[in-house]
Structure formats: structure tokens, C-alpha cells
Amino acid sequence: MIIDFHTHVFSPQIKRNRSRYIEADPCFAILYSSKDTKLATADELIATMDRDGIDISVITNIGWTTHEMCVETNDYILESIARYPNRLIGFATVQPQSSRAAIAEIERCVKGGIKGIGEIRPDTQLLDINDSEVIEPFIETIRKYKLLLLFHSSEPVGHSYPGKGSVTPEILYSWITRFPDVTIIGAHWGGGLPFYALMPEVKQAMSNAYFDTAASPFLYHPQVYNQVIQLVGSDKILFGSDYPLLPPSRLLKEIDSLKLAESVKQQILATNAQKLLRCG
């Protein structure tokens, strides 16, 4: 069993009309303005999964700035998981600042079968963790439906790239410590947050936090796997490719090259995800 915890798909309409959506939403513009940046449909993802030996993929949304774009793209995710119920698991997204509309959208998507919210981007979505009027109802709804919460996260140092953003370990950590009962996943190795687990209080605070490997070959040396295993444990790592940015096969080859114990490898590739998603 292999579960890819981090992929992105868009409707054929968005793929055909990329320029219109670039004009419509700043987050999409940041990520997909370049024609070289791939867009993929659910059908294309399924074909790649079949080719690369992926059993299940989590299709995640992006941090749209407007409520309307969240709804439109959530519709496609709901449609996709209904078409491929044994292959795809959906994460929806909302703009929490839309207040009651955001809560209603989460509830609509829960009825459609989603298991998480994300990727959330506090920077592009202009979310202030201290704005209790916005954040508290959002988090309470996450708690109510026992949803997972996936954050885009990025490194405070190193090279720049489109969509890197400013959700650094400090920002991600503030959400983890403020809402310790919510299961939070830091995409892209949490922007390096696991490295701070050498501080005992940080490791303790991350008891309900997980980290996916999305886009890892673009960010870290393969040794990152062994280092993070040593620091936070193999039970905290979720295999994710960030398809279509990278094919799952590229990360699978990298993991195979590390000669990890089979039990550890299986945790990363499936067992940890199965526990969180309650599947398989």
C-alpha cells in the first residue's frame, strides 16, 4: 500500500482557461502564472498513480483568496472523490475570513466526504492567528468534524521559488501550540520545523503535528528523511509528492535509495496516513 498524501488537481475548465484564473485570484497567480508550471486533472492523476504504483492519493486544494474560488474548486474535488471513491481522498479549502460562509462550506464539503482542510496559506489568505473572531469559529468547526488541517509551510532561508511564501516554522509552530488538540500537517517538511525538535519543549508541543515530504527533492538533500526520523520519529512523516509538480516515482526512488528498514518505510508510505485518514 502506498498513499500519496499531497497532490493537486484542477478542473479541465481551469486548465483550459489558466489566464482567466490568474487574473481572478492572487494565490493562483503566484503559483501558476508560468506556463511551465503543470496543471493536472483528476483523470491525469489517476493515470500517473497507475503508472507509479500509488494506491490512494489525497487531493488538496490551494489557499484561494476568495470564497467563490474555494467553492468552485471544492466542487471539482468533491466530484473527483465521488468518481474515484477507492483511489482519491479529498481535502477542501476555505477563506476563513468569509465567516459564516466559510463554516457552511466546510459543512457542505464534510457531507461530500472530505477528510481535511488545506492547503491553508495564512500569508496569502491574510489570516491573523490572533483574530479570534475569524479563527475561533474556523477551528471549532475543524474540531467538530475531526478534520485534518494541512498548512503550506516554507523555509526561512535558502532559495526563492514561486509560492514559497512566508509560513515559516515560527508561524506554523504558533498554530500548533495554540491548537494542540487539532491534528496539523506541515507540508514540505513543515518548512524545517522538525529540526527544532532538539528543543524539548518544541518536541513536546508537536505531539499532534505531522510533516509531509511534498516537493522534497527541490528543497532538501535525501538525508532529510534520516534526520527527521531521528528528531521526531518515522511515525510523524507522510509521503507526499506535490504532483503534478513532481511525479510520485521521483520521491519513491529517493526513499528506496536510503535503504530504510521496511517497517519504517511502510510507516512513511502508508501506515501513518492510514491512521490519520482512517482508511485502508
248-257 vs 42-52: helix crossing angle, rounded to 10: 30
Domain spans, the chain: 3-277
Placement of cell 506535490 in the chain: 242
The chain-wide mean pLDDT, for the chain, equals 96
Is 172 in contact with 185 (CB distance < 8 Å)? Answer: no
**Quick count: other Cβ atoms within 10 Å of Cβ 30?**
17
pLDDT of residue 279: 87
Residue ranges, the chain, pLDDT below 70:
280
User: Which pTM does this prediction carry?
Assistant: 0.97
Cross-strand pairs, 186? 151, 211
Distance between CA atoms of residues 268 and 254, nearest Å: 13
pLDDT at position 174 is 97
Torsion angle, CA of 128/132/137/140, rounded to 10 degrees? 90
Answer for the pair 211, 236: CB distance below 8 angstroms, yes or no: yes
Residues 71-93: tens digit of each pLDDT: 999 999 999 999 999 999 999 99
* Residue whose C-alpha is closest to residue 50's, from 15, 87, 25: 87
Task: Tell me the CATH number for domain 3-277.
Answer: 3.20.20.140
How far is it, in rounded angstroms, from Cα 222 to Cα 211? 15
Beta strand residue intervals within 171-267, DSSP E:
184-186, 209-212, 237-238
DSSP 23-52: HH-HHHHHHH-STTS----HHHHHHHHHHH
CB 220 within 8 A of CB 245: no
